[in-house]
Amino acid sequence: MRELQNKLPQEWLWVLEEIKELIAELPPEGDKRLYALWKQVLIPGGRHIGPSTPVTQLRDLLIRLSEAWEDYCAFYSDPAIPWTNNGTEQVIGRMKMRARTVRGYKTWPGMQTGLMLAGTKTN
């Protein structure tokens, strides 16, 4: 995407921004949005044969991301896949969920117990 940013005509840079947003958010329906973008990016003169241009590279990127989107978002459908591979972020996520459901910790020992529980792996 960095290479394309420097090569693409100005009129197509908005597509790269949308791709960046989709990758940052990873919405479950991102594949449909990427496919819609792919259909919007038209190659001048129809089908392009020969060396690929920045626009054809953009189209290729869009269709590849669209086809593989389910793999990128597998954590939505498979509970065995954590949302992050960073253990610290997993603990923080569990602490935040507990803080939301408990509305805060009432005592220091309660907070310590909560942190210890959040730090343990569940299978």
Q: Helix H segments across 27-107?
A: 30-40, 54-72, 74-77, 87-102
The CA distance from 59 to 37, in Å, is: 8
Q: How far is CA 32 from CA 25, 56, 95, 108, 110, in A?
A: 14, 19, 33, 48, 45
Confidence grade of residue 71 (pLDDT, cut at 50, 70, 90): confident
List, for residues 22-63, the tens digit of each pLDDT value.
Answer: 988 888 889 999 999 999 987 765 565 667 888 889 999 999
Q: Is the pLDDT of residue 13 over 80?
A: yes
